[in-house]
Structure 1
Amino acid sequence: MEKFIYKKSADLTVLSASMTEFVYKRHSHAEYALGVTLRGIQQYHLGGSLCSSHQNGVMLFNPEQAHDGSAADKEGIDYVMIYIPTELFAEISGRREILRFNSPIVYDQKLELCILSLADSILKDRSEALSSELLVKLVTVLAWPHIQPAIVKPDDLIKRSIEMIRSNLGAVLRLEDICHELQMSKYQFIRLFKAWAGISPYQYFLNCKVEWAKRLIEGSADLYSVVLDCGFFDLAHLNRHFKGVYGTTAFEYSQYVKKSTL
């Protein structure tokens, strides 16, 4: 049985999920993503390696870190994830430099408890003050030894290409315009971008469109307006891509958002 429940509190999003045959498409998130495997073995490809998170494994995803995801066997998996915006993470950590997780999976009971406590607080609609305190505690526990200043930063060409991709998400991706600006061939650019992001420019573009759609839905935008603004063909087209990243359709996610604001 596939079950995905999203809950928002302030700037945080929590996912509680159970899945057996569902497979996430390769994607990335703009936020930090932290999770705990509660049952089974969760597998995903990250940086060219196959990672396996067993029960009690703490999964740590850096922003823009491409990955997929699936259950290792027919028994399926249960897990929770918390998504923390990069600006909020920086504010709480008090660190100006870009921070990266040292390892994609760790087995740390204190960190696991911090994630589960915060997720439980948000899923059960406990006070925002309590959730804020639990978030500060979580980031404090993460600060050592699980994070470090980033070693690899996107170069100027990548930064410029990202700005161009994100500046016109409602239109068709035109690699020719980007490559003309960067003064390189289309194939050189695709190779350079994929080496940095782990996904192609087109996959990144679609991922950004889905993230934008998610933010619009969270702002209570009408779904059909979201389809038009984000440049999808129709709601079915949006739902298909949304589900590949978040495990649930845009329509279903809009229902979670409505329940969270009641």
Structure 2
Amino acid sequence: MRENSVRGIERAEHLAAGNADGLERSCNGQFRDGMRIAMPSRGVERIEARFHGNGFSPHRHDTYALGLTLHGVQTFRYRGSERFSNPGNVIVLHPDEVHDGAAGTDDGLIYRMIYLPPELIGAIDGHRRTLPFVGNPVVADAGLWRALADILDDLDHEPDELVLDDAMMRIAAGLSRQAGMPRKAISAAARTAVLCARNFLEEHNARMIRSEDLEAITGLDRYELARQFRRLLGTSPHRYLVMRRLERAKRLLSTGCGLADVAADAGFADQAHFTRHFRKAFGMTPGRWNVLRNGAL
């Protein structure tokens, strides 16, 4: 395990050094706060974040958030406890779990993260079992580290499809390995209903969707659908719908659209409604997200 930890740190230094600023400058704390966001691929979002002090207020995603700490001490509150990650560790945050994020020292923090739709992990076994849950969000796992590094090493280019498929298989294996407990089976009927509801929410995310709509297309009552949806996709139908709207909103923000126009186009009641949901999902306001996204790294 000690050898794996050393290799992980060496890999972290390689990843950070691959950035234009380089690790040497980063270690002196001379980098600017900002985010580098890669082009999304098959619903997978990859970022590099650099900041000092508190970076994110409490928030939650509807994806797995898997990351590599590259420089500094990564600290965050998760499931009621304060957590710490050093270079060489892997961060594993389960969908819909509230967390924040901060740099643990004055040197600042650099990390890379992938936001992985749960359905990609579920697809590995044909959505036949519940999602793997990793109780400890900071793990030392050389295999999981290498799988993540393969798709986080180069943020300038979209990963090759074969590389991504192989990485997904290894990430799913790593999550199951770290989860430890056997995953419960999901019936074929429930699986079909949930995936049908997911597709409907994706296709109609900009309009009002009611529980009756989902009951009609799935054949499940709203409570059973909510139960099975969370088992298969890690979140509720409502949260899934809101996150699809927020994904659309982020794309619009990146093109320079104003907040009011973004809110209306993405299906939110108004700008305040949009801002409130954005902060709950990403731990910052849309305005700050834009500033960090445009910050020099």
Identity %: 22
Specify the alignment match of 1:40 in structure 2: 72
- Aligned positions of 1:137-216 closer than 5 A: 137-146=170-179, 148=181, 209=242, 212-216=245-249
Query: 1:216: how far off?
Result: 4.2
Are residue 120 (structure 1) and residue 153 (structure 2) matched?
Answer: yes
Judge which range, 27-36 or 117-126, deviates more.
117-126
8 Å CA contact retained: 1:169, 1:231: no
- Which of 93, 106, 109 does residue 77 from structure 1 map onto? 109
Specify the alignment match of 2:85 in structure 1: 53
Query: 1:226: how far off?
Result: 2.5
Query: 1:116: how far off?
Result: 1.2
Are residue 98 (structure 1) and residue 131 (structure 2) matched?
Answer: yes
Measured in 2, the distance between the counterparts of 1:11 and 1:38 equals 24
Question: Rg: which structure is higher?
Answer: 2
Specify the alignment match of 1:244 in structure 2: 283
Specify the alignment match of 2:94 in structure 1: 62
Count of matched residue pairs: 208
Specify the alignment match of 2:261 in structure 1: 225
Specify the alignment match of 2:37 in structure 1: 6
Q: Which amino acid aligns with 2:158?
A: D
8 Å CA contact retained: 2:275, 2:285: no
Q: After superposition, what is the alpha-carbon deviation per residue over 1:36-77, rounded to whole angstroms, capped at 9, x for unaligned? A: 111110111111110001111111101100011100111011
Q: Which amino acid aligns with 1:225?
A: D
Query: 1:98: how far off?
Result: 3.3
Judge which range, 219-228 or 118-127, deviates more.
219-228
Structure 1 pair 251–42 and aligned structure 2 pair: CA distance change class (3 A)? closer
Q: Which amino acid aligns with 1:230?
A: F
Structure 1: 5+ residue stretches without partners:
152-166, 172-204, 256-262
Measured in 2, the distance between the counterparts of 1:247 and 1:40 equals 26
Judge which range, 53-62 or 227-236, deviates more.
227-236
8 Å CA contact retained: 2:35, 2:292: no
TM-score (norm 1): 0.64
8 Å CA contact retained: 2:64, 2:115: yes
Measured in 1, the distance between the counterparts of 2:178 and 2:111 equals 23
Measured in 1, the distance between the counterparts of 2:137 and 2:75 equals 12
Structure 1 pair 125–86 and aligned structure 2 pair: CA distance change class (3 A)? closer
Q: Which amino acid aligns with 1:6?
A: I
Measured in 2, the distance between the counterparts of 1:50 and 1:207 equals 27
8 Å CA contact retained: 1:18, 1:79: yes
Measured in 1, the distance between the counterparts of 2:108 and 2:292 equals 22
From the two aligned structures, give the one with the greater strand fraction.
1
Structure 2: 5+ residue stretches without partners:
1-31, 185-203, 209-237
Measured in 1, the distance between the counterparts of 2:149 and 2:131 equals 25
Measured in 2, the distance between the counterparts of 1:234 and 1:79 equals 30
Query: 1:109: how far off?
Result: 1.9
Measured in 2, the distance between the counterparts of 1:253 and 1:209 equals 22
Query: 1:212: how far off?
Result: 2.5
Query: 1:99: how far off?
Result: 2.3
> Over aligned residues, Cα RMSD in angstroms?
3.9
Measured in 2, the distance between the counterparts of 1:103 and 1:92 equals 22
